[in-house]
């Protein structure tokens, strides 16, 4: 059940009379027009659970992404290392053959 405008005005007048006008103004500004919109501890607990579940999902996605990135980097590094080794072996072999040919002349 939401508060009606006359009830809000009555609350304002009571606070103004019993405390101060400044307090009454601040209180009315702080209260939403529909008090049903105020969050309860139960609302916050549900929200907290939902946020924790979303964070767990994001954590899982991040770990999966990092694992995939590691695998991709390992594969790329392995391929590059293999290419460099074959290139070096070929260069050393060509150099050795060249030296043998020059020595034979």
pTM: 0.50
Q: How many CA atoms lie within 13 A of 18 on its CB side?
A: 7
Longest dimension (CA), the chain: 118
**Between the CA of residue 79 and those of 36, 55, 83, what are the distances in Å?**
63, 36, 6
Q: What local confidence, expressed as pLDDT, does residue 87 receive?
A: 94
Q: Is pLDDT of 54 > 70?
A: yes
Span 64-98, pLDDT tens digits:
999 999 999 999 999 999 999 999 999 999 999 99
Indicate the domain borders of the chain.
1-38, 40-105
């Amino acid at each position: 059940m939401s508060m009606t405008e006359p009830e809000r005005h009555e609350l304002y007048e009571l606070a103004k009379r019993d405390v101060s006008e400044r307090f009454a103004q601040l209180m009315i500004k702080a209260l939403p027009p529909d008090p049903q919109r105020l969050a309860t501890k139960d609302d916050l607990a549900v929200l907290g659970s939902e946020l924790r579940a979303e964070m767990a999902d994001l954590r899982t996605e991040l770990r999966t992404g990092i694992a995939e990135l590691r695998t991709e980097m390992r594969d790329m590094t392995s391929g590059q290392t293999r290419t460099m080794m074959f290139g070096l072996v070929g260069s050393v072999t060509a150099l050795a053959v060249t030296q043998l040919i020059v020595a034979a002349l």
